[in-house]
A and B are shown apart, each in its own frame.
Chain A
Amino acid sequence: MADAALQLRRLPHRDLGLWLVAALAAAALFAAVVATRPPLPGSAELARTLQSILLWHSLVPRSVTALICGAALGLAGVLLQSVLRNPVADASTLGVVSGAQLALTAATAYAPALIVLSREGVALAGAVAAVALVLGLSWRRGLDPMTVILSGMVVSLIAAALSATIILAKGDYVLSLFIWGAGSLNQQSWDAALSLAARLLLGSVAAALLLRPLGLLGLGDDVARGLGLALHAVRFAVLGVAVWLAASVTAEVGVIGFVGLAAPTLAREFGARTQRQLLLAAPALGALLLSITDSAVQLLGSGFNDFAPTGAATALFGGPLLLWLMRRVPPAPPAQISDAMALTRRIARPFSALAVLAVVIAIVAVIGLVLGRGPQGWGLATGALFADLLPFRGPRLVAAGAAGALLGAAGCLMQRLTANPLAGPEVLGVSAGGGVGLTLALALLPFSPFSMLAGIAGGSLTVLLIMLALAGRPGIGSQRLLLAGIAMGALCMALVSIALAKGDLRAYVLLTWLSGSTNRAGEIEVWIGLIGCLVLIAPLFLATRWLDLMPLGEATSRGLGLGVERSRLILAAVAALATAVASLLTGPLSLVGLIAPHLSRLAGFARGRDQLAASALIGCGVMILADWLARLVAFPYQVPTGLFAALIGGPYLIWLLNRTGNRHG
């Protein structure tokens, strides 16, 4: 009904006005960019020649490239959202972009000949592999939107972790380029514009041909099949076009966040209702959006230096935009999260199971302390050698374990607070929010582990409170919350990468934090971790009733006599602080906060108390294992623990989800 009223208000002239304003804004900003070009040195004649070269070989192709990239991403976004019937689908949420980026990074590092041969081919191979993985994993569950997005997110994070590992292994200078060059639209020729234009044209023709089948797909599988549609063929065709467009853009200009997600959303806001309208409006809006951003970035910068990478800046405005628009996203078909919530079996004796877990972790820890590699290869450290090595192996093991336990507990709290099985510090943007806090702390406070912790804690708490405020709104649904979390995470990471692009010593600290290395852990880190566990996790066992009631929803909780507001706030604060402490120790990317509560539920720990304890234990164990492996796999070169945890935890989570899916389906 509200929807109908909304449509009534949307009179045609208003739509036209909006379009006009957007187009004029883009044109005016570009004109301003051209008008405010910095003066060039040299004789008047030379300066004139150079200015005209700059205009026709750099500025104009750049603005055209922005328009084309925006349109291509918008088209890819709308195609993906239609074919997967998933309002959160986008090249970045499906892993297309990270897959392409990983392939490009790996090829640059290990097979440069491939890059010379075809950047686009390399990117496309990576993108297709990532999408195939994501869809293959959610195939048995009928490409249920939640499963697709979860798999996409996990695949993205794994790909990003692998890229970062390669970059760290190949030298730090590549990293600054990775951060900045990714998603920068600087051009000095028409090559990118022309090659992308050809692809956009082909993609548009394909989309036009697929218009009718797409419309039928929207009616549901059964209807579509009944009308004689070859479902799989159409789906693959649409997917193929979208992935190809997004991979081409990534190959030419790097990662441009959010346009594919924002453009279709905005198009609906601008009044596009039918499939045809969407297919026209989304690319147009994507083009305007990217063009406006790119001009703004140039205007805000000084001289020839952009204010920020365009690809990061799109997230800067795209994030808030999506948060603001979220409540107007048309209600999606009910997500089948109950499946993901479903238990395989309930453990009969949770205490014995927890004890077994604890013993396993103790064994892993002992192995971690004793078994290692040295100049003479593998060896067990005993006696004097053990005593010598303990001050180095001990602290990092304790720091990693404590961080894992804190993340497990935080993830468990967040999943219960939001009644959303996909919630977690990484997914809700809470870890990334910590990064913004850290950036501010580095800029404003004197440097110390405690100011870092304060910054991360402040940032995490702010983001989590925003997410809870959103989650508490009536009718938000887990899908919208997830969308908000992705938006928030991208927004925060964009802020962090803008700080990184400044390239000073603070950026170096941020970078070290992002990678999540436990290598430098010493006494301070050990105490921070242990005290964090003691102060933040232990008291939770006094509040297990809250944990059991919280997922039942606000009305039920209140009916059962729970002070909802107060208990939510307390639990949220604890979760945010736990995230902050953990990310100080092992960085924001580990995925353990998502994995550990999941694993504990899949293992059959159902009650709040049991799930909390199991999550903390599993998180602890995964992190200790990750730390040990990170130390050894490339000895003497070390992989950051946080990244490595994502590398081992992610695939396991996907595998487990898929296995349960099979059993149910």
Chain B
Amino acid sequence: MPTRRAALATLAAATLPRSAQAAALRIATVDWSVLETLLALGAVPVAAPELLQFREVAVEPEMPGTVTDLGLRGTVNFELLLLSRPELIYSSSFYASSEPRLLRIAPVERFSIYAPGRPPFEPAAAMMRSVGARLGIVGVAERYLAETEAEFALLRERLKPHAGRPVIPINLGDARHFRVFGADSMFGEVLKRLGLANAWTDDTSYSATAPVGLEALARVPDAWIALIPPVPPGALEVLGASAFWNALPNLREGRLLRLGSINPYGGLPAARRFARLLTEALLAAEPGRG
């Protein structure tokens, strides 16, 4: 069996244009955080799930048109994955129950970035190193990690006047509810690394966080509200007319930051995107108060 599959794969690989680094191995992934990482390293996978949504939510890194869309993340299309003939499949703890199926197609390597109560930044960095080592592009991975460190240092420096200020990253569910990201989320950890504080101190689960009524924002009157898309249609219009919303000190004093779309369960590229967008928005709204 392996011989035929290997032969087919070699045949298929031979007919495809080779990118500089991802030379030898045909890789597929069923997880978005790995997908981000692969793209950031220039190791374009042959197949990955939910690409339409990925381009909309994660935005960067840029996705080449050659990647096959495997369908929804929850129900990865195994047939299509098989026909993409990968030689290695990257998975994550979210897809543990799919692993027996994936193993019939190719060897699987699993990462666990998001786990309850554990900050995800270090595991994401470890994932990048591991991917680099596996694909023989250690140099690229190390360079990316160094760039990440440098970018965070730079942003932290620029944010120095605001050090320790509370920020609450939220995602509006409708005009009455929001989803919040606590210390064990990627956003929470980025805030810490930028020298800011997460205004939300309660626990949050690491996945599909339960929405909270908007009135809870009264608990964090000092915080910058970092609004992460998607914003539901009409919600901001409704809020604009809401006495409660407009009475919040955060709103009265202009502490609402509207950011671009970011994948909340991403890898290092998502973390850097959040850090960059947040810093830009914050400095644009309140240039260094000293």
Residues of A in contact with B (beta carbons under 8 Å apart): 38, 40-42, 46, 49-51, 53-54, 57-58, 108, 112-113, 115-116, 119, 168-173, 175-177, 180-181, 184, 186-189, 191, 303-306, 372, 374-375, 384, 388-389, 391-393, 501-505, 507-509, 512, 515, 517, 519-520, 522-523, 631, 635-638, 640
Contact = CB atoms under 8 A, between A and B. Distances in A.
B242 A188 contact: yes
Contacts of B243: 53, 57, 189
A38 B219 contact: yes
A116 B242 CA distance: 16
Contact of A180 (B76, B210, B219, B238): B210
A41 B5 CA distance: 63
Contact of A50 (B116, B218, B232): B218
B177 A180 contact: yes
A501 B234 CA distance: 24
B231 to A, nearest CB: 10
A173 B230 CA distance: 10
A191 B243 CA distance: 10
A389 B83 CA distance: 9
Contact of B82 (A42, A389, A523): A389
A384 B211 CA distance: 49
Nearest to A637: B71
Contacts of A374: 79-80, 83
Query: Which of A46, A191, A391, A520 has its CB near the most chain B CB atoms (within 10 A)?
Result: A520
A115 to B, nearest CB: 5
Given A168-B74, A188-B176, A303-B202, A180 B83 contact: no
Question: Chain A CB within 10 Å — which of B79, B94, B171, B173 has the most?
Answer: B79
A190 B155 CA distance: 42
B83 A375 contact: yes
A519 B102 CA distance: 12
Interface of B: 4-5, 50, 53, 57, 68-80, 82-84, 94, 97-98, 100-101, 104, 116, 171, 173-174, 176-177, 179, 202, 205-216, 218-222, 232-234, 237-238, 241-245, 247-249
Contact of A173 (B116, B208, B212, B234): B208
Contacts of A51: 218
A403 to B, nearest CB: 16
A189 B242 contact: yes
A375 B80 contact: yes
A396 to B, nearest CB: 9
Contacts of B179: 173, 176-177
Contact of B233 (A38, A115, A171, A375): A115
A304 B69 contact: no
B42 to A, nearest CB: 24
Contacts of A520: 97-98, 101
A502 B210 contact: yes
A10 B82 CA distance: 71
A184 B249 CA distance: 25
A181 B173 contact: yes
Contact of B69 (A177, A191, A391, A636): A636
Contact of A636 (B70, B211, B215): B70
B113 to A, nearest CB: 14
Contacts of A504: 116, 205-208
Contact of A186 (B5, B98, B210, B213): B213
Nearest to A43: B221
Nearest to A252: B176
Contacts of B80: 374-375, 636
Given A374-B79, A508-B207, A304 B212 contact: yes
A169 B77 CA distance: 14
Given A304-B212, A636-B77, A53 B233 contact: no
B92 to A, nearest CB: 12
Contacts of B101: 392, 520, 522
Instruction: Name which of B97, B207, B241, B244 has the most chain A CB atoms within 10 A of its CB.
Output: B244
Please provide the 7 A-B residue pairs with the shortest distance between their CB atoms, ordered closest to farther.
A112-B233, A186-B213, A304-B216, A188-B244, A57-B244, A116-B234, A177-B173
Contacts of B53: 170-171
- In this complex, the member of B176, B209, B219, B220 whose beta carbon has the largest number of chain A beta carbons within 10 angstroms is B176
B219 A172 contact: no
Contacts of B94: 508
Contacts of B206: 504
> Which of A108, A119, A171, A306 gathers the greatest number of chain B CB atoms within 10 Å?
A171
Contacts of B76: 519
A58 B72 CA distance: 38
Given A180-B210, A189-B241, 12 more contacts: A42-B222, A53-B248, A54-B244, A112-B232, A175-B208, A177-B173, A189-B243, A191-B242, A509-B97, A519-B76, A519-B78, A522-B101
Nearest to A254: B174
